[in-house]
């Protein structure tokens, strides 16, 4: 599977929302109903340089990559306006086996701790598991609403085939999901939605795991903490 470069941002950060999906370097485009867009910025040169020491790139390769990075920044003009060239705007990043997902924005979010099994993003069956600060009826209803909103969107896309009922064990929850394709894109969309709604759900941690994994580990975003 080809390594992919996936950008995620609020809709208002896109310079030309109507034309983004038609841009020649945009190979994958998803709009989330909760006000965000994900797109893959692609050029064949990315495949030839992936894993290669930048010091070994030819002058022509370096020039082409610099041009592509300027074009990518232009797509997100409102984010970079008035910012120095070295400013990346990365608020969150996942460097995975087959893709890098990065949230680009000037606005910060309070990310829940994140966990995952190796190469989870290419799987078609995933257990979404998490931790809550509390499990009142209202919190469970809010979490169910967030999952329901995501499931409706992902099902309409033809990506989600089945989502089981959310199972609770004290402050832990889990839900098994089956997908028609590799689950990475739509699961990252879920992580973003659960981040946006965590005040209502008291979410502390969430991750994407192989169904048979019994002792998942979560890592603190931007820190060194670990919780199991």
Q: What is the pLDDT of residues 120-169, one digit of tens each?
A: 999 999 999 999 999 999 999 999 999 999 999 999 999 999 999 999 99
- Give the end of a domain, one of 104, 132, 148: 104
Residues 77 and 138 in one domain: no
Q: By residue range, what is the domain housing residue 74?
A: 4-104
Last residue of a domain, one of 104, 127, 146: 104
Provide the number of structural domains found in the chain.
2
Shared-domain flag, residues 21 and 58: yes
Q: Give pTM, 2 decimals.
A: 0.91
Can you give 149-178 as a three-state secondary structure string?
HHHHHHHHCCCEEEECCCEEECCEEEEEEE
Asked if residue 147 and residue 91 are part of one domain, the reply reads no
Please give the share of the chain, as a percent, with pLDDT higher than 90: 72
Same domain, 72 and 141: no
* CB within 8 Å of 152: residues ≥ 6 apart: none
Q: Are residues 80 and 135 in the same domain?
A: no
Indicate the residue among 104, 131, 150 that finishes a domain. Answer: 104
């Amino acid at each position: 599977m080809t390594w992919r470069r996936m950008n995620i941002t609020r809709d208002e950060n896109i310079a030309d929302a109507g034309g983004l999906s038609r841009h020649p370097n945009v190979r994958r485009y998803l709009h989330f109903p909760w006000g965000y867009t994900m797109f893959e910025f692609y050029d064949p040169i990315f495949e030839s340089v992936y894993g290669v020491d930048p010091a070994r790139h030819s002058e022509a390769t370096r020039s082409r990559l610099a041009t592509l990075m300027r074009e990518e920044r232009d797509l997100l003009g409102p984010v970079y306006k008035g910012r120095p060239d070295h400013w990346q705007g990365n608020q969150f990043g996942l460097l995975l086996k087959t893709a890098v997902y990065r949230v680009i924005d000037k606005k910060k979010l309070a990310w829940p701790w994140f966990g995952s099994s190796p190469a989870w993003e290419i799987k078609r069956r995933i257990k979404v598991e998490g931790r809550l600060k509390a499990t009142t009826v209202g919190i469970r209803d809010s979490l169910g609403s967030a999952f329901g909103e995501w499931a409706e969107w992902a099902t309409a896309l033809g990506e989600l085939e089945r989502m089981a009922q959310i199972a609770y064990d004290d402050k832990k929850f889990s839900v098994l999901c089956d997908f028609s394709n590799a689950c990475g894109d739509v699961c990252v969309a879920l992580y973003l939605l659960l981040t946006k709604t965590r005040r209502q759900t008291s979410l502390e941690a969430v991750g994407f795991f192989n169904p048979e994994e019994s002792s998942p580990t979560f890592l603190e975003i931007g820190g060194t903490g670990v919780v199991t």
